[in-house]
Amino acid sequence: MIVENLHYAYPPLTPGGEPLPVLKGVNLRVRRGEFLALMGPTGAGKTTLCLTLNGILPHLMGGTFEGRVVVAGMDTRDHGPGEMSHKVGLVFQDPESQLFNMTVEDEVAFGLESLGLSPSEMEERVAWALEVVRLPGLRKRSPFQLSGGQKKRLAIATVLAMRPQVLVLDEPVTGLDPLGRHEVLAVIEKLKREEEATVVMVEQDAEAVMAWADRVVIMERGRLVLEGSPRQVFSQVESLHGWGLAVPQMSELAHLFNRRQGTSFHFITEDEACSALAGELQSETCTGPRRSKQYPIPNILYPVSFEHSSAVKVEDLWHRYDDGPLALAGVNLSVEAGDFLAIIGQNGSGKTTLVKHFNGLLRPTRGRVLVLGQDTAGQSVGQLARKVGYLFQNPDHQIFAPTVWEELAFGPRNLGFSEGEVAARTTEALALFGLRDQADTPPAILGYGLRRHVTLAAVWAMRPHILVLDEPTVGLDWRATRTLMEEVTNLNSQGHTIILVTHDMKLVAEFARKVLVLDEGRTLAYGPTRQLFQQEALLRQAFLAPPPITALARRMRLVLSPSTLLRINSAEGPYGLRGDSLTVEEFYQEYTALRRLGQGG
C-alpha cells in the first residue's frame, strides 16, 4: 500500500465557506504482512486518512484531493469504495453504525453478497470469519444484542470475510471494558500471527500499540511527524507528550530515570524494566520463577462503615429492570464527603445502574439510598440535581444549545435561579473551565475535548456537592484526559465528592482514593486504592488488572533475592521495596530511595 503526498480537504460546511484541510502531505508505505499502528491526538486526521485508504474519500464526500493512494496496484482515484472494498477492509470506530443487519450471519454475508459470491462460497467464508473472531454459535443473534467487545469483533469479521489485502482498524478497542478489550486484542493478535494480515490500526492506547505493532507512525495536524519501531518511537517521551500523546508506563519510567539520573535505559516492557532495574540492585535477573508464594500479601479490605459525614450512603440496594435481569444484588456503600471514589468492573456489572440511583434516574427495587443524609425516595430527579451532578459518557447526548453560554445557563435556569444568579454562575463556570473565548460559539462545532469541557462546566454551574462522572475520558486523547482530570482533582480539593466510573486503571491508580469493584451486581471489593491494587487475584476475578507500573513494583519486590532484601533492610529503611506504587513518579521515588539505602549498606 502506497500513500503519496496526500492532501485532502473536506468540502466547506456552508456554501461559500472555506474548505477544511485535514491531510497536508502524507507519505506512507505499508509492506505486506506488516502491522502498523497510527497514533495521534484528536483532530490529527487519523480517521480521515483511514477513509482515503478505501476511496470513501473523495468518492463519497467530495472535497479537494491531491496526491495518490494505491493499494495492491489499484489507485483510489480510478476505483470507488465499491471496488476498493475487495482490497481494503475498513472497520470504523463506532460499532453501532456499521452493524446494520438483523442477524450476525447476514452482517458477515452482506459484503459477500455485494461481491456476488455463490451461496456455498459465502457459507464457507462466513463460518471462517466468525471462527477467527471467536463468534461462532451466535449466527442468528441480532448484532444489537451483542456486548461491546462482541460488536467490535463482529465488525472485524464483516470485512475479514471479504478477504481484503489490507485491514484498517480505527480505534478497535476504544470504549470497551477490560474484558472486551482483551477479546478484541486477542483476535487482532491471531490475525497477525496466524493469518499474516496486513494491518493498519489507529489506536490511542500506547500499551496496546507497544504490544502489537511492528511499526508506529505518529500523526499530528495532518502530517506524519515520527515513525519507527515501538521502541524507537516510545523513547521520544517528551515529543510524544508535547503532541498530547500517551506513552507506555515503562517508557515513561525509563525516561524519568534517564532524565534525572543520567542513565540510558531503553526498556519498554515490564520484563525488560524488571531485569534492568533488578540488575542495578545487583540482584538476580527477572527470568527466574516468581516467588509469589513466599511473600503473601495480606487480604486487607475495608469494612463497610456508616459514618455520619457520608455524601452518599447505599444500604442493601437491589435493582431489577422491568422484564430484565437483576442488575444490583445487595450493594452497601458509604462515600465520605470530599472523597474520590472510583467504581470499576466489567460492563453489565452494575456500575451505571448504581450511580443512576444517586440522582434518582433509577429507583431502588429494594433497599435505600441516602444523599447528604436524606433518603432519595420522595426527591425528584430535578431536586436531586442540586446535590448530584451527573456527567454522561457522550457529550453529544446533552449538548443542544445555540451557544456555550446558553448551554451552561440551562442547568441553573432549570433549578429556578434568578436571571442574575444564572448569569453569575455561567460567567464563573466559563472562567473556571477556560471557556470564555467560546462563550458565543455553538458548542456542537467545538472539538471533542472542548465539548467534554463544556458538559463538565454545565454540570458544575449547578454547583452540586457530588459529581458523578460516567466514563468521562472515553475518546479523549492523553492531553485532554490530563486536563479534564486536573480539573476534577481541583474540584475535589475544593470539597466536592467525586465518583468516577471508568475502565482506565491508570486513572484510578493515580487519582482515586478509594475503589469499589463491582461484579455481577455485587460488591467484590471496596477499599483504599493502594490496598486494592495489591489484590491481583481478586481483581482477576473481575477480569481486571492493576496498571503496569503497579505490577512492576510488585514483581520487583518478589524477584529481589532475600539477601538483597536483607542488605536493604539491615540499612535504615523500615522495609524493602513496598511494591505498591500507583504512579510512575511514586515508583521512581521509592526505587531511588531503595538504591541509596542499598549502596549505603
Which residues inside 375-394 make contact with other proteins, applying CB under 8 A?
Answer: 380-382, 385-386, 388-390, 392, 394
Residue 44 CA to residue 23 CA, distance in Å, equals 8
CB of 219 to other proteins, least distance (A): 20
Q: Which of 34, 105, 315, 519 binds other proteins (CB under 8 A)?
A: 105
What is the SS3 assignment for 91? Answer: strand
User: Within the chain, how many helices (H) and strands (E) appear?
Assistant: 25, 20
Residue 458 binds other proteins, judged by CB under 8 A? yes
What is the pattern of x (binds other proteins, CB under 8 A) and - over residues 470-489? --------------------
Which of 35, 65, 92, 460 contacts other proteins by CB under 8 A? 92
Strand partners of residue 89: 167
Three-state DSSP class for 347? coil
Measured CA to CA, the distance from residue 427 to residue 430 in angstroms comes to: 5
Per-residue CA distances from 217 to 100, 164, 233, 326 (Å)? 32, 22, 8, 45
Beta carbon of residue 392, minimum distance to other proteins (angstroms, whole number): 4
Give the nearer residue to other proteins in terms of CB position, either 102 or 566: 102
Q: Is 100 in the site for other proteins (CB under 8 A)?
A: yes
Nearer to other proteins, 61 or 300 (CB): 61
Residue of the chain from 1, 71, 90, 135 that contacts other proteins (CB under 8 A): 90
**CB 442 to other proteins: min, Å:** 11
Counting contacts by CB under 8 A, is residue 326 touching other proteins?
no
111 binds other proteins (CB under 8 A): yes
Please give the DSSP secondary-structure letter assigned to residue 134.
T
Residue 325 found at the interface with other proteins (CB under 8 A)? no
- Min dist. Cβ of residue 422 to other proteins (A): 12
Question: What cell does 525 get?
Answer: 471489593
Identify residues 167-226 at the interface with other proteins (CB under 8 A): none
Q: How far is the CB of 159 from other proteins (least distance, A)?
A: 7
189 grid coordinates: 493478535
Is 12 near other proteins (CB under 8 A)? Answer: no
Selected from 64, 114, 309, 490, the binder of other proteins by CB under 8 A is 114
Among 415, 423, 424, 474, which residue sits at the site for other proteins (rule: CB under 8 A)?
Answer: 415
Least separation in angstroms between CB 79 and other proteins: 12
The set of cell numbers assigned to 445 is 462545532
Element housing 354 (H / E): helix 351-356
Residue 343: strand pairing partners: 501, 516
And the C-alpha cell for 64?
A: 479537494
Q: Which of 118, 294, 305, 494 binds other proteins (CB under 8 A)?
A: 118
Residues near other proteins (CB under 8 A), total: 73
Residue 300 binds other proteins (CB under 8 A)? no
Q: 42, 48, 85, 349: which one contacts other proteins (CB under 8 A)?
A: 85
Residue 554 sits in the site that holds other proteins (CB under 8 A):
no
Q: Does 288 bind other proteins (CB under 8 A)?
A: no
Candidates 119, 373, 447, 600; binder of other proteins (CB under 8 A) is: 119
Measured at the CA of 192, the angle between CA 99 and CA 100, to 5 degrees, comes to 5
Angle, in degrees to the nearest 10, between helices 270-280 and 548-559: 40
CA–CA separation, 115 and 98 (whole Å): 18
Choosing from 101, 165, 239, 561, the residue that interacts with other proteins (CB under 8 A) is 101
Nearest CB to other proteins, comparing residues 69 and 544: 69
- The amino acid present at 103, given as its one-letter code, is T
Contacts to other proteins from residues 506-545, by CB under 8 A: none
Beta strands in 282-405 (DSSP E): 310-320, 326-336, 340-344, 366-371, 374-375, 388-391
Which of 140, 259, 290, 363 touches other proteins by CB under 8 A?
140
Check binding of 122 to other proteins (CB under 8 A).
yes
CB of 99 to other proteins, least distance (A): 8
- Matching residue, cell 508506529: 216
Sheet holding 20-29, edge to edge: 20-29, 2-10, 64-71, 74-75
14, 97, 294, 305: residue in contact with other proteins (rule CB under 8 A): 97
Q: Which is nearer to other proteins, 77 or 482 (CB)?
A: 77
User: How far is residue 75 from each of residues 79, 134, 268, measured CA to CA in Å?
Assistant: 6, 34, 38
Q: Are 340 and 389 in contact (CB under 8 A)?
A: no
457 SS3 class: helix
Nearer to other proteins, 38 or 99 (CB): 99
Helix (H, G, I), strand (E, B) or coil at 54: coil
